[in-house]
Amino acid sequence: MRIPGRVSIVEVGPRDGLQNEQSLITTADKITFIDQLTAAGHRVIEVAAFVSPKWVPQMADASEVLAGITRRDGMRYTALVPNRAGLTRAMAAGVTEVAIFAAASETFSQRNLNQSIEASLVTYADVCREALAAGLRVRGYLSTCFGCPYEGAVAPTQVAAIARRLFDLGVFEIAISDTIGVAHPGQVPQVLDAVAASVPLAQVALHFHDTRGTALANVLAGLDYGVTTFDSAAGGLGGCPFAPGAAGNLATEDLLYMLNGLGAETGVDLSRVATASQFIQTCLGHRLPSRYLQSMPS
Ligand code: HMG
Ligand code: MG
């Protein structure tokens, strides 16, 4: 098996993780959580989403979160934007990197964005033009690459075609996402074969949810294929409010435990991530799913 010397982790807990939580977390607690994740040595943290607060109330305080965190030099603090309104808010909050998010299946695009795939790509063309002209970096997510909660199987050729459209908009990286955690390690190379024929593999990241317990196995399959960037969320927080059955993201602790064992450098301190998870777990008032976290003495 191919294991790279260095792996990049994109911490998405404060955004993908918290967006699915029913109880509203205070802005101060979100800021403490993000600052603890910064202290853990992360290089990239997705801290918020500038989406409609009517759609995702938990993300309504995105600007206040950005204003309150302590930004460490060299760190990338990124945020989701679904449209020009979101980009305007993100830029006003001093964000230098944003992420757009399209879907590989039509029904999920409608449920998540209230737009068809085509319409969302027109919106994103506008967002990218403005963001790139202002000197921002833009990341692209592609949801439902391994299956859709509404339509079932999604063809890898469809994934590759939309990935290429995002790439042509100027995104620096495309997170091939398993929105509802249905992927298995046999499927990972099949999807990557199609994607890598459309966009450079060096610009592909993998974003797994761990609904069925296959996320770490999928990471191994991705590493072996040559992918070196993976998204994860502290404590295994997460899910998408518009994807029924979507459970937590791959837990950062579980990912780190495996990568440390394999000798792949990340620069992220496992025990400090666990401290951040324990803090947010207390704020949420329920146990987080990370297996590593659960194995720690309380
Ligand atoms: P819409 O209702 O069709 O849009 O929503 P609209 O233009 O009619 O706007 C509705 C209201 O929201 C209006 O306010 C707008 O001004 C306001 P009103 O006039 O009614 O008072 N509005 C905004 N306010 C603040 N910021 C904005 C914004 N945009 C509109 N940016 C829209 C369309 C795209 C806005 C909506 O569908 C939306 O916000 N969707 C986001 C859903 C979301 O956040 N999903 C979760 C993130 S994606 C994910 O988790 C997957 C990922 O992790 C990868 C994976 O795992 O697959 C990334
Ligand atoms: Mg996600």
Task: Show me where the domains of the chain are located.
Answer: 8-295
Q: Is the pLDDT of residue 25 over 80?
A: yes
* 240 in active site: yes
Whole-number Å distance, alpha carbon 114 to ligand 1 midpoint, is 8
Q: Which residue is closest in CA terms to ligand 1's atom 50?
A: 240
Q: Is the pLDDT of residue 201 over 90?
A: yes
pLDDT of residue 241: 77
pLDDT of residue 229: 98
* Tokens, residue 51: 């989406």
Entry pTM: 0.98
Mean pLDDT of the chain: 96
User: pLDDT of 80-134, one tens digit each?
Assistant: 999 999 999 999 999 999 999 999 999 999 999 999 999 999 999 999 999 999 9
pLDDT of residue 240: 75
User: pLDDT of 163-177, one tens digit each?
Assistant: 999 999 999 999 999
Three-state SS for the chain is: CCCCCECEEEECHHHHHHHHCCCCCCHHHHHHHHHHHHHCCCCEEEEEECCCCCCCHHHCCHHHHHHHCCCCCCCEEEEECCCHHHHHHHHHCCCCEEEEEEECCHHHHHHHHCCCHHHHHHHHHHHHHHHHHCCCEEEEEEECCCCECCCECCCHHHHHHHHHHHHHCCCCEEEEEECCCCCCCCHHHHHHHHHHCCCCHHHEEEEEECCCCCHHHHHHHHHHHCCCEEEEEHHHCCCCCCCCCCCCECEHHHHHHHHHHHCCECCCCHHHHHHHHHHHHHHHCCCCCCHHHHHCCC
Q: Is the pLDDT of residue 162 over 80?
A: yes
Whole-number Å distance, alpha carbon 55 to ligand 1 midpoint, is 6
Question: Is 16 touching ligand 1 by the criterion CB < 6 Å?
Answer: yes
Question: Is 123 touching ligand 1 by the criterion CB < 6 Å?
Answer: no
Q: Mean pLDDT, to the nearest integer, of 186-199?
A: 98
Question: Is 116 touching ligand 1 by the criterion CB < 6 Å?
Answer: no
pLDDT of residue 244: 78
pLDDT of residue 298: 72
The more confident residue out of 155 and 287 is 155
Q: Mean pLDDT, to the nearest integer, of 15-27?
A: 94
CA-based angle 177:144:293, to the nearest 5?
A: 45
pLDDT of residue 243: 77
User: pLDDT of 202-253, one tens digit each?
Assistant: 999 999 999 999 999 999 999 999 999 999 999 999 877 787 777 799 999 9
pLDDT of residue 179: 95
Ligand located closest to 63 CA = 1
CATH for the stretch 8-295: 3.20.20.70
